[in-house]
Structure 1
Amino acid sequence: MSIFASYPARPAAPPAPLALWVGAGVYALFVMAGNHLLIDPDTMWQITIGRWILDHGAVPTVDVYSFTMRGQPWISTQWLAQTAYAAAYALAGWTGPVVLASICIAATYALLARYLARHFSETTALVLVAAALALTVPHLLARPHVLALPVMVAWVSGLVGAADRRGAPSFRLLPLMALWANLHGGFVLGLALVFPLAVDAVWNGQASQRRSLALRWAAFGLAALAASCATPYGWNSLLASRKILALGEALPLIMEWRPADFSRPGSLEICLLSGVGLALYRGISLPPLRIVLLLGMLHMALSQTRSLETFALLVPLFIASPLARQIGGPGDDAKRGIAPPRLLVAAMAVALFAGTVAWASLVRFQPHMRGSPVAAVTELKKLNVSRVFNDYDFGGYLIANGVAPFIDGRTELYGEKFFVDHNAASGLMKPENLFRLLDQYSIEATLLRTESAATTLLDHMDGWHKIYTDDIATIHLRKSGAVHTVEPAVSPQAK
């Protein structure tokens, strides 16, 4: 007898209205809260790169934005998403990216609801969808990863469905991998999941069919690997993930790569405690490989907050079939497989379109500028300087406004040492780093957060003059003839 629990045969498709209503509701929610999608300043430089791709009819292979890494090899594994955002922006201003991101978010949760309704009652499916939405809301922004989320759910649900049936995935899934590889670098996770789900399917398959099943999964895995290389960069898109993983000490310094924070109650803690409580109350058990997958996703979510959306969206897919056998499956209505009337679908699409147009005429969608150095960059441009030492978070705004940054959000381009040195310099963990970088790169001006330690030091440092400051950013201009030394003269009085 297999040590793995057997899975029930895949039930008939449920009535689509659940997925339809979930998709419509999520779309309306995010369009109405559209400016939430634009709170990340990275959206601006993503659109800038997308416009460059459209203007040049090519994808970037070297850096053309910073002055520190200009000409160095760099590829954009998110080129298709960046192009889509740029085209949407060109078509409808900031309403375009908001609507595009909202459509993809809605599609993601509609696909999740559709899959879960095959295994659970509509009430249970909605609870799981609501939990996933609560976990991912902070990460749902108009950035490339959002456009890849529905592709991820469709891909993984196809793999899990094949494993549940003790069969092999359909080769019709391969275009999804090719699309994912052009939208976002997270496609590597989709490739990595092929192996554990293949083991799950083969181990639980009939002994007489295991060899054949293993070969079919192996063929699919190789085909998926080939499909992931169907990008303008070929297999370099696959290798690009190594640069992210090689960032080492730099990763914990980036907000979205930091581990989960349980110092105050949050959605992740509530969901985890609820899950543990349900398992203890109902005596729920999972097959070993599904436990491994669940724990792997949980480890990623705990060690880096940017993985929270993969945990929220994929774990329900992994556990749906074995969990349904223990807490109950779909009701009789869900087994009828009644499709929604086409008239209903058309009417809902028309209503959402009309609502979007009406809402966009009343609400002005625009990026959240509260933390962006808008006024400071305006003043900076008047100085006609080309070598500016900037705060890491300001890099994207500088790119979007035609100013070459010292550093920006493309951390894989700059590398671990460069990023860590910059962080230690701007935070004065190592003041000598600041002096060295200012000298090494012949910095003409600095654009740093007003409250940063480096800004305070520059106020007193020989050779630098504060020419602009506000609540967000401060500009220091290097005085003509100033000499940078390892230990520059520091005045006790602000200049």
Structure 2
Amino acid sequence: MTRERLIHLCWAVASLLVMAIAIGPGVNNFVVAMMGDAITVDYPWLLESGRAVIARGGLPGTDIFSWTHGEEEWVQYQWLFEVGLAGIVDLIGIDWMIRLFMLLVVAIYLLIPLFGGVPRRVPYVLTVTIGAIALIVITINMSIRPGLMTTLFLLIQYVTLAKMRRGELFHGGFAIIGVMYLLWGNIHMGVILGIISLVLMLAGDFLEKGGFRRFEPADPDIEGQPLAPAVYLAIIGLAFAASLINPYGLHIYERIIDVSAQASHTANVDELQALNMQWVQGQLLMLLVGGFMVALTFSRRALTAQEIMHLVLFTAMGMFAARLVLWPALFFVLILPKALHHVWTDMKSRRSSLHPMLGAAEEFRTMIVAMVVLFGVVMTLAIPHNLAPQRMGLCEELMPGLAKIADLRRLEDRMFNDPTSGSCLLLVDPKARVFIDPRFDFYGGDFLAEAAAAMRMERDWREVLDRWGADSVIMRKAWPVIAALDRAEDYEKLFDDGVIAFYRRREGG
């Protein structure tokens, strides 16, 4: 064996070890987190919304879940996700639905970037390590919700445009974008993020194609050529037009603007608060930002203008609102490995002592696939033994009590409830009508703030209940208003299991 071959194999083995170390904790931490967090309090109303659309054969015109807003128009802008969720759950069950969800997320952040999303000349060790870090970062907010599909569509769009720049796609790229936005406009309001990403690509390629910013990649073989502005304008026009083929047309964009402007709504939703840098997810995101800063020192050799714009804008969004961290994590996986590859290649061109290989050799591709597949099989076999106790997430501990409360409730009850109880109740009593549930953008910031203030005892809870004509209360025991209800002589406690309680106003009270 030659010295060159020995060094080559040493690099490859070291890279495989790094990847094994990264994949293990990264995927394992993600799977463990999702055993309790894949199902959120949004899941019940998303599921029942889909079932309602299937049963009716069309979208309901007004709200079907609350007695407080039952006559108001309900813009079901993510109806296709809800129908798909209901169909899949009813077909394969919730346990296999969670497995399918986990597999899709691992594919988005690890497998697709590893086997095509990132150019194959980029060392696997970079893509796998950054992908594994991203899988931990996204545990802040990843769950079975429509935002998952926005993540998938952002990935498809970014990879499609990269192939168009390299001349591997053109008309096929237009077809992919058209079909994708047709679906996206019926699945999630995150469709606006796709348009924003296209605009960033247009701006970045315009700067480089027009000579305003020079990009001289250290490894030009993995880069394409900037697309003409006319091509981008055609793509953006196609994307926007396709997204309008939905039951509400342009109204979905009006809805996006309206929801974004609800400052009081934002203030009452935990996951819309700024990312807490004391959390390990926030610290790992800063680690990725550190890698970005390293690449910026070689910016003209490592990063295109549109790549810089994507990382800056989406990272700022993720730090401003923790819910949005899914998308900077995605772009770090797609951009940072390639940028660091350019940095390494540039360093090699200046220092001949650096070995030309960083990462596993091409011949180890089969081994990597086998390693990932084996890990996936082991986790799939292990999941059933750990999943059942936490299957329904935050709803799990409430469901025994809610099932008993459902037997005590009267059809005509006008109950006051917290959002979590309101949504979880649908799992045991789909026909129940609630005061509020987690569809905060539907209820509006003022109504949410009023309900939250009453539950926190920040305003007169009796005044709120009397004004709305509520005659019963279903409330988790953690809310401060519980102590007041226990003291209230005109309310009778009918159920209390230490987790959730049910009260009804006494006759004449």
> What amino acid maps onto 1:116 in structure 2?
V
- The SS at the match of 1:68 is coil
Structure 1 gaps, min length 5: 1-18, 483-495
In 2: Cα distance, 1:361 partner to 1:266 partner: 27
Quick one: which of 419, 442, 454 aligns to 1:413?
442
In 2: Cα distance, 1:436 partner to 1:129 partner: 51
Quick one: which of 378, 384, 402 aligns to 2:404?
378
Q: How far did residue 258 of structure 1 move?
A: 1.4
Partner of 2:252: 237
Contact 2:127/2:333, CA 8 A, preserved across alignment: no
Partner of 1:485: none
Q: How far did residue 443 of structure 1 move?
A: 0.6
Residue 224 (1) aligns with residue 239 (2): yes
- Superimposed CA distance per residue, residues 3-27 of structure 1 (whole angstroms, 9 cap, x where no aligned partner): xxxxxxxxxxxxxxxx9xx999998
Q: What are the equivalent positions in structure 2 for 1:140-159 lying under 5 Å apart?
A: 140-159=142-161
4+ aligned runs moved over 4 Å, structure 1: 22-34, 160-169, 286-289, 318-323, 329-341, 344-363
Q: How far did residue 74 of structure 1 move?
A: 1.1
Partner of 1:487: none
Q: What are the equivalent positions in structure 2 for 1:76-475 lying under 5 Å apart?
A: 76-109=76-109, 110-114=111-115, 115-118=117-120, 120-160=122-162, 162=164, 170-174=173-177, 175-205=179-209, 213-262=228-277, 264-273=278-287, 275-276=289-290, 279=293, 283-285=297-299, 286=303, 289-319=306-336, 321-328=338-345, 356=380, 360=384, 364=388, 366-368=391-393, 369-372=395-398, 374-376=400-402, 378-384=404-410, 385-400=412-427, 401-402=429-430, 403-431=432-460, 434-475=461-502
Q: 1:180 to 1:334 in 2, by over 3 A?
A: farther
- The SS at the match of 1:193 is helix
In 2: Cα distance, 1:292 partner to 1:53 partner: 40
Q: How far did residue 428 of structure 1 move?
A: 1.4
- The SS at the match of 1:183 is coil
In 2: Cα distance, 1:153 partner to 1:80 partner: 19
Partner of 2:74: 74
Contact 2:130/2:332, CA 8 A, preserved across alignment: no
In 1: Cα distance, 2:91 partner to 2:26 partner: 23
TM-score by length of 2: 0.77
Percent identity for Structure 1 against Structure 2? 19
Partner of 1:12: none
In 1: Cα distance, 2:342 partner to 2:226 partner: 28
In 1: Cα distance, 2:337 partner to 2:295 partner: 18
- The SS at the match of 2:441 is helix
- Superimposed CA distance per residue, residues 40-63 of structure 1 (whole angstroms, 9 cap, x where no aligned partner): 232222211111122222233321
Q: 1:272 to 1:96 in 2, by over 3 A?
A: same
> What amino acid maps onto 1:173 in structure 2?
I
- The SS at the match of 2:504 is strand
402-411 or 269-278, larger mean C-alpha shift: 269-278
Partner of 1:13: none
Q: 1:136 to 1:260 in 2, by over 3 A?
A: same
Contact 2:155/2:330, CA 8 A, preserved across alignment: yes
Q: How far did residue 452 of structure 1 move?
A: 1.7
Q: 1:193 to 1:279 in 2, by over 3 A?
A: closer
> What amino acid maps onto 2:480 in structure 1?
A
In 2: Cα distance, 1:346 partner to 1:83 partner: 35
- The SS at the match of 1:467 is strand
Partner of 2:15: none
Partner of 2:506: 479
In 1: Cα distance, 2:154 partner to 2:448 partner: 30
Contact 1:252/1:258, CA 8 A, preserved across alignment: yes
Q: 1:428 to 1:361 in 2, by over 3 A?
A: closer
Q: How far did residue 197 of structure 1 move?
A: 0.9
187-196 or 53-62, larger mean C-alpha shift: 53-62
406-415 or 332-341, larger mean C-alpha shift: 332-341
Residue 56 (1) aligns with residue 56 (2): yes
Provide the aligned C-alpha RMSD in A.
4.0
> What amino acid maps onto 2:266 in structure 1?
L
> What amino acid maps onto 1:102 in structure 2?
M
- The SS at the match of 1:428 is coil
Contact 1:373/1:473, CA 8 A, preserved across alignment: no
Q: 1:79 to 1:458 in 2, by over 3 A?
A: same
Contact 1:24/1:106, CA 8 A, preserved across alignment: no
In 2: Cα distance, 1:248 partner to 1:465 partner: 37
226-235 or 161-170, larger mean C-alpha shift: 161-170
Contact 2:182/2:242, CA 8 A, preserved across alignment: yes
